[in-house]
Structure 1
Amino acid sequence: MSKNKYLFPLIVMATLFFMFGFITTMNNSTIAFFKDAFGLNDVQKQFLNTFFYGTYALSIPVGFLINKIGYRFSIFTGLGLIALGFFASIPGVAFGYYGFLSAVSIFAVGVVILQVAAAPYVVALGPKESSASRLTLTNALNSVATVIAPIFVSLLLVVPELGEGETLENTVIQGIVKWPYISIGLITAAILVIMFFLKLPNIKDEQEKAEAEGVVKHKSSAFKYTHVWLGSLAIFVYMGIEIGIPSFFEDFASEKGITGINSVDMLKYYWGGLMVGRVLGIFILQKFKASTILTACAIGGAAMLGGAIVMDGNIAMWLFLGTGLFHSIMWPVIYSLALEDLGPHADVASGIIATSVIGAAILMPIMGGIQTMAGVIAAVSALFVYYLYLVFFATKGSKIR
């Protein structure tokens, strides 16, 4: 495949990255809305993350599915489930919080399929030396979506003023979420129709041809690569980092005495930091090793968080939100390091790695429990453990064995 032929499929993949970036961030940004609407406690509100990210437990079966039916039909399947899930969210709300969460799990499975399919496809669209840069490029558009999504939520999903201990009727909540969720379902359905008429190159055929011709040799299974498993654990803890900041921002700001802000709207600065960092990362990763950049980002993020904990007021808030700049290229760098030299096993390996996105489903309720017992500062301090592991993976664990 010539270099020019990479451009169109990269544009298609960037569109998909935008889509699941928007949906993922929108879902996380609705935590405050549903907490107030349904009168949830600190643990219950994190179940929105649990139901969404818990579906990533299906990532390995999804990897085998992609291996069987190919990237194109996998993308169709993912888009179809996303549309279905958003349409189902409307009647789901009528059955209460857990009825809504059931609908969330449907479009979450669609996001999982797109996520597992997209990363190895982007890695394969060019030389391995620039794979981290390509993933960062597509993730930059993903970040644009993460900036827009909180604004979308803050403008359209607004809880009316409630008295002490009051919650909304399910039918009222249904009316509030109706048009935003139907609109996303319709847009997804339209993208599905457009994608149906597009022809993506079959990367799998080229990988298998290279293997048969002896150009490259690989182990018999993705499960035999140690750096895949260590990379999977890196994604697990990274999810605690990326999602932990926005999930606990409102309570952290309150703890630091910050009042009079729209916490959902303020998150645009966190996600904006991710966007800026990923744009810069496209160029930085062409000059420095991916492992070096990951180490620097983990140390920088830990330093920003430490400063936020020590300081008070607006300085603490901006340091807390500013961690997004260092979190920006962690995901694509971890993914590219974990998928290095996998060849025809990349789709299944991507499933192994993506499974660990359930880190958000597991770590958020645990951190919510820590908050209940010891306060929000103790909860967000768990991120220091996650940063430490990322330094280990960058310096030792990512080496191919």
Structure 2
Amino acid sequence: MKKNYLIVLMVLSTFFVISFITNLLAPIFPALIQSYDIGLTLAGFFSFAFFIAYGVMSIPAGLLVQSLGEKKVMLIAFSLALFGSVLFVSMPVFAVAMLALFLIGTAMALLQVAINPLLRASGGSKHFAVFSVAAQLMFGGAATLSPLVYSALVKADAHAQGQNWLLQLVPADMTWLSMYVLFALLCVVMLVVISVVPMKKKAQAQSSQQNSIRQSLQLFKDPTVIKFFFAIVAYVALEQGVANSISVFLQTYHQLDPNTQGAQVVSQFWLSLTLGCLLGIILLKLFDAKHVLLAFSVGAVISLLTALFAGTALVLWAFPAVGFFLSIMWSVIFSLALNSVAKGHGTVSGILCTGIVGGAFASPIVGAMSELTGSLQLSLLLLLIPLGYILSVGIWAKPLIANHTFKRNSQTATLAESN
């Protein structure tokens, strides 16, 4: 399989842009509640509108990638995201916001389905776990930057607001909308980049095989694919459930300002996830991916419990620690999944990305349980359920291709010399 590092670089850049918008909902969550004067349960439907698109569109996106190729699908996706962002900024009423977020979510679903098998084909299947963690590194970097940019914008005083062209484009009481203006600009940049990057059809054929709808349905019935599908559901529910609750939790239980201190902790959560990816790349070159997943899952359980029940000083460390231990989960689960099937990686990627719909349900469920019990603290214990399932992946996963480690490379070289 011929490597193409220019395409790898483009894919990593795409992950950055996807993360910048996907994880924007976490820091602006308290502002959404205030702007639309709604409760936690209804506010959770902002995440629902965004992530439900993955459930609706990911499998059709897999078929679309097979039919049109990654490049055309990526161009369609960023065009759709651009339209959704402009729509959101132009008409920020609740109903239109739901539609705009669904359109942006649909675009993200198209991108996720296209770029994961493309990354595997361009970087090499044996190195996919490492490149996937590198993609998560970009993902975490953008998620770290997004809350900091938002925090800087909301700190702008009346004089600065009159001079800031971004803030001039949005209502004075909805400064958070300026983040979607930034995202629209990023979409324009990515449309130009994708248009000029050469992408051969041969590479596309390697990354997404031409399966019929019948074959796609057969893969969807595969027990291995289904188990990994639920693992993706569990991971995204866990990630979004934690991230979207941080600011509100700190405001409720520790009286911290959600727009400044809360947003900073959210940023630290994603920064820790990014740093965890750096360590993850090293660990995946030393140990089996399943063992790394098991160790990080145990660390996440301990950190989450600490974040929910410790004092303020410790909580401010514990939430970022949760991000650190979540860092390699998506990458390892996705790479284990694609390396556990012999063919149809484009379709399998579509099925797995359907699992991102887990993010649609985490916030509404946590919010509803919080309003029912009167305790956000206790409702967040529900996140131990998806975390436990992720831990189990490290036990039952049986990939056809193991991740490339220094030890395996040495053993392969020794075997070659002996032959």
Number of the residue aligned with 1:391: 391
- Partners of 2:281 and 2:312 in 1: CA distance: 34
Alpha-carbon contact 1:49-1:364 (below 8 Å) kept: yes
Distance 1:204 1:226, change over 3 A: farther
1:94-243 matches, cutoff 5 A:
96-157=93-154, 172=171, 176=175, 179-201=178-200, 202-206=202-206, 221-243=218-240
TM-score normalised according to structure 1 size: 0.88
Distance 1:293 1:24, change over 3 A: same
- Partners of 2:118 and 2:73 in 1: CA distance: 12
Alpha-carbon contact 2:243-2:266 (below 8 Å) kept: yes
Distance 1:207 1:25, change over 3 A: closer
Residue identity matched to 2:326: H
What do residues 331-377 of structure 1 show as CA deviations (whole Å, max 9, x unaligned)?
Answer: 01111111115354111111111111111111221111111122111
1:29 is aligned, of 27, 30, 33, to 27
Alpha-carbon contact 2:65-2:208 (below 8 Å) kept: no
Alpha-carbon contact 1:33-1:159 (below 8 Å) kept: no
SS at match of 2:275: helix
Q: Structure 2 regions of 5+ residues with no counterpart? A: 159-169, 401-419
Alpha-carbon contact 1:74-1:114 (below 8 Å) kept: yes
Number of the residue aligned with 2:334: 335
Alpha-carbon contact 2:238-2:362 (below 8 Å) kept: no
Alpha-carbon contact 1:33-1:158 (below 8 Å) kept: no
Shift of 1:51: 0.6
Number of the residue aligned with 1:345: 344
Residue identity matched to 2:24: M
Residue identity matched to 1:42: L
What do residues 302-347 of structure 1 show as CA deviations (whole Å, max 9, x unaligned)?
Answer: 0111222332222123212311000011001111111115354111
Number of the residue aligned with 1:65: 64
Shift of 1:276: 0.3
- Partners of 1:291 and 1:243 in 2: CA distance: 23
Distance 1:388 1:172, change over 3 A: same
- Partners of 1:379 and 1:319 in 2: CA distance: 18
Residue identity matched to 2:137: A
What do residues 215-237 of structure 1 show as CA deviations (whole Å, max 9, x unaligned)?
Answer: xxx99943353221111101111
Number of the residue aligned with 1:320: 319
Alpha-carbon contact 2:84-2:100 (below 8 Å) kept: yes
Match status 1:295 vs 2:294 = yes
**Between 5-14 and 244-253, the greater mean CA deviation after superposition:** 244-253
SS at match of 2:199: coil
Q: What do you get for the CA RMSD once the two structures are aligned?
A: 2.6
Shift of 1:172: 3.3
1:246 is aligned, of 243, 246, 255, to 243
Distance 1:190 1:174, change over 3 A: farther
Alpha-carbon contact 1:28-1:49 (below 8 Å) kept: no
Shift of 1:174: 7.7
Alpha-carbon contact 1:204-1:344 (below 8 Å) kept: no
Q: Structure 1 regions of 5+ residues with no counterpart? A: 162-170, 212-217
- Partners of 1:312 and 1:129 in 2: CA distance: 44
1:250-329 matches, cutoff 5 A:
250-259=247-256, 262-329=261-328
TM-score normalised according to structure 2 size: 0.84
- Partners of 2:70 and 2:317 in 1: CA distance: 41
What do residues 221-261 of structure 1 show as CA deviations (whole Å, max 9, x unaligned)?
Answer: 43353221111101111112111112111232245434356
Number of the residue aligned with 2:167: none
Shift of 1:272: 0.4
Number of the residue aligned with 2:377: 377
SS at match of 2:126: helix
Number of the residue aligned with 1:360: 359
- Partners of 2:149 and 2:65 in 1: CA distance: 32
**Between 305-314 and 138-147, the greater mean CA deviation after superposition:** 305-314
Distance 1:175 1:233, change over 3 A: closer
Residue identity matched to 1:278: C
- Percent identical pairs in the alignment equals 22
Shift of 1:133: 0.7
Match status 1:13 vs 2:19 = no
Shift of 1:186: 2.6
Number of the residue aligned with 2:87: 88
Distance 1:230 1:20, change over 3 A: same
Equivalenced residue count is 381
Shift of 1:158: 6.4
Alpha-carbon contact 1:56-1:109 (below 8 Å) kept: yes
Alpha-carbon contact 2:13-2:138 (below 8 Å) kept: yes
Alpha-carbon contact 2:26-2:266 (below 8 Å) kept: no
SS at match of 1:30: helix
Match status 1:53 vs 2:55 = no
